Each structure stands twice: as structure tokens, then as C-alpha cells.
């Protein structure tokens, strides 16, 4: 008779810890000004998308399915995609326009700030399920299928998809 009580207690504790972790992450995201990133992106979006020669290909196609990412995996996916943008996209993109270059630099700095805020807030409690790891791996595989400069340009042009997903999680955070 005690076994069912213990399993219910363990299940209840697991759900409480998961909920606390998710709310903690959402509070982290609420401290970052996503609107500043969006504004910088919208200022250069047209310039980036005009140069994109691969209109039928998407790098962030798996992000359209981010609505299926479980709340506990939001931290993992956010962390991996911020790292992807920092280590690949911003470094690989070659821009000739000084204005666009400044805006991209501003976005990169804001992403770095977001990444640091996330790391400080959740410490090492940011686990990754196989589903979350697969979603970010698909993005990297899509990126690797294109020539580096084209992939970087396309990823920057699709930044609104990632920002919308972060914004959605941020709004849900504020409501919680």
C-alpha cells in the first residue's frame, strides 16, 4: 500500500521541480530586451532577404515545429540556437554595408547578453531531451548543406522565426 503513495509523491515532486525550472527559465528570458533585437533585425531584414538567392530553402524549418517543444526543453533549444548563431552565423556572414554590419553586430551582442543571462539564471539545470537535441541538429544540418556565406545570409534573414519563438515564450513567462 505504501508503494503507490511513494510513486505518487515522487511523480508530484518531479512535476513541481519541472514547473519551477520552467518558470525560472522564463523569468530569465523576461530580463532580456527581445524588442531591441527585433528592431535591429527589422531594420536590416529587407537588405538581407534581397541578397538571398535560395528562396525555396530554409535553415530554420524545424523551428516552425517549435510549438511542439516541451517547456522543459525551451532552455536547451534556446541555448543551442544562441550558440549556433554566435559561433556560426554571425562569424560566417560577410557584409559589405557598414549600416547592416553595425546592426548585425548589435544583434550579436544582444544574443551574447541573452546567452550570458540564461547561463547565470539556470546554471547547469538546462537539460536536453533527445527531441530538443534533434531539433537543433536539423538546423545545423540544413546550414551545412549550403555554401557558408549563403547559409549565414539565409539564417540571418530567417532570424524572425527564432525571435518570434523566444518572444512567445517570453510573453507566456510574463503571464505565468
User: Using one digit for the tens of pLDDT, what is the confidence trace for 39-66?
Assistant: 889 989 888 988 998 888 888 875 666 7
Question: To 10 degrees, what angle do helices 98-122 and 34-51 make?
Answer: 140
- Range with lowest mean pLDDT among 105-109, 114-118, 121-125, 162-166: 121-125
Mean pLDDT of the chain: 78
State the Cα–Cα distance between residues 176 and 161, nearest whole angstrom: 23
2-175: which CATH number, 1.10.274.10, 3.20.20.70, 1.10.3720.10, 1.20.1250.10? 1.20.1250.10
What pLDDT is recorded for position 36? 83
The full set of domain ranges for the chain reads 2-175
**With contact defined as beta carbons under 8 Å apart, do 156 and 37 qualify?**
no
Closest by CA to 68, choosing from 163, 158, 132, is 132
- pTM of full prediction above 0.85: no
Amino acid at each position: 500500500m505504501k508503494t503507490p503513495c511513494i510513486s505518487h509523491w515522487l511523480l508530484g515532486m518531479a512535476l513541481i521541480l519541472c514547473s519551477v525550472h520552467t518558470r525560472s527559465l522564463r523569468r530569465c528570458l523576461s530580463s532580456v530586451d527581445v524588442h531591441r533585437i527585433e528592431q535591429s533585425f527589422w531594420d536590416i531584414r529587407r537588405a538581407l532577404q534581397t541578397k538571398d538567392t535560395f528562396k525555396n530553402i530554409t535553415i530554420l524549418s524545424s523551428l516552425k515545429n517549435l510549438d511542439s517543444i516541451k517547456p522543459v526543453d525551451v532552455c536547451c533549444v534556446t541555448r543551442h540556437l544562441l550558440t549556433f548563431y554566435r559561433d556560426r552565423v554571425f562569424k560566417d556572414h560577410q557584409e559589405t554595408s557598414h549600416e547592416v554590419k553595425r546592426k548585425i553586430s548589435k544583434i550579436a551582442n544582444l544574443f551574447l547578453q541573452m546567452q550570458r543571462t540564461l547561463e547565470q539564471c539556470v546554471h547547469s539545470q538546462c537539460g536536453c531531451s533527445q527531441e530538443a537535441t534533434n531539433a537543433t541538429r536539423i538546423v545545423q544540418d540544413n546550414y551545412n548543406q549550403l555554401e557558408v556565406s549563403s547559409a549565414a545570409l539565409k539564417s540571418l534573414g530567417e532570424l524572425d522565426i527564432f525571435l518570434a519563438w523566444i518572444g512567445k515564450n517570453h510573453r507566456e513567462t510574463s503571464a505565468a
